[in-house]
Amino acid sequence: MKFYSSDITKLLGVKRTTQQQWMDLGYIAPSIQRAEGSGTKNVFSLNDIYRIAIFMRLTEGGFSRDEAAKCIKGTMGWAFPRDPKTVRHPDYLGIVRVNEGGEYQVIHSAYLEKSKLRDWIQLQDMDFDDIFILNVRKVTDEVDKKVKQTIMVISDDMFIQALTNPTPEGQSAYKDRVLRFANEERGEEG
């Protein structure tokens, strides 16, 4: 599934100018395509959307953008799949911080499965100020819910367009759009 900056605005409420600033500073990045000049667009994957949502949740929770970016960089090796049987999916993000000279520093972060959470916390025997646990599964579920709502709106809009343009050309265009949309949902080409 492909997402554009306008989709991120709809799904997560992040203005395009803010997205661009975050990309310029290296906090987020589109994994499918980075816009290279006039006429090109940034193209994000669903995993990118999850990472942006995690980044936002961390900054809302008091982490600096630099700290949050450092934490989400660790998600690059993780997949947030539709089928949890195929790839491991993190349930939680654990973060250890220390206060050095009045500034917090993330000294360790890890994406954890629920079964490993307690063991990870017990291993943190070092001198630290804070341990944070973010429920990544909840964040990704919230994104999934918003994506599904958006898909339903798009499908309804396409159906209304077909009803309001009952010509054979209008019906054919509707059919083509629905097939293209369904193929994109399945990850197939056009």
Sign of CA dihedral 6, 182, 186, 82: positive
Question: CB–CB of 20/6 below 8 Å?
Answer: no
What sections of the chain are H helices per DSSP? 5-12, 16-24, 46-60, 65-73, 117-123, 136-164, 168-185
Q: Is residue 16 part of a domain?
A: yes
**What residues contact residue 180 under an 8 Å CB cut-off, 6+ apart?**
190
The structure tokens listed for 76 are 């690059």
- Tell me the mean pLDDT in the region 109-116: 73
In the block, tokens 């940034």 appear at: 42
- Tell me the mean pLDDT in the region 163-189: 57
pLDDT on residue 88: 52
Total number of domains in the chain: 1
What's this model's pTM, rounded to 2 decimal places? 0.71
pLDDT on residue 135: 85
pLDDT on residue 11: 93
Residue 186 pLDDT exceeds 90: no
- Tell me the mean pLDDT in the region 169-189: 57
3-state secondary structure of 103: strand
Name the band, by pLDDT with cuts 50, 70 and 90, for residue 83: very low
pLDDT on residue 190: 46
Q: Is residue 74 part of a domain?
A: yes
Residue 33 pLDDT exceeds 80: yes
pLDDT in tens, 131-175: 788 888 888 889 988 888 877 665 555 555 555 555 555 556 655
Instruction: Please name every residue paired with 130 in a beta bridge, in sequence order, or none if there are none.
Output: 97
Instruction: Please name every residue paired with 132 in a beta bridge, in sequence order, or none if there are none.
Output: 95
Instruction: Please name every residue paired with 106 in a beta bridge, in sequence order, or none if there are none.
Output: 97
- Tell me the mean pLDDT in the region 41-65: 90
Range of the domain at 148: 5-185
Q: Is residue 158 part of a domain?
A: yes
Instruction: Report how far residue 6's alpha carbon sits from residue 14's, in angstroms, rounded to the nearest whole number.
Output: 9
Q: Is residue 111 part of a domain?
A: yes
Name the band, by pLDDT with cuts 50, 70 and 90, for residue 115: confident
Question: CB–CB of 87/81 below 8 Å?
Answer: yes
Q: Is residue 190 part of a domain?
A: no
Between 101 and 59, name the one with better pLDDT: 59
The structure tokens listed for 71 are 């934490």
pLDDT on residue 59: 92
Residue 52 pLDDT exceeds 80: yes
Q: Is residue 107 part of a domain?
A: yes
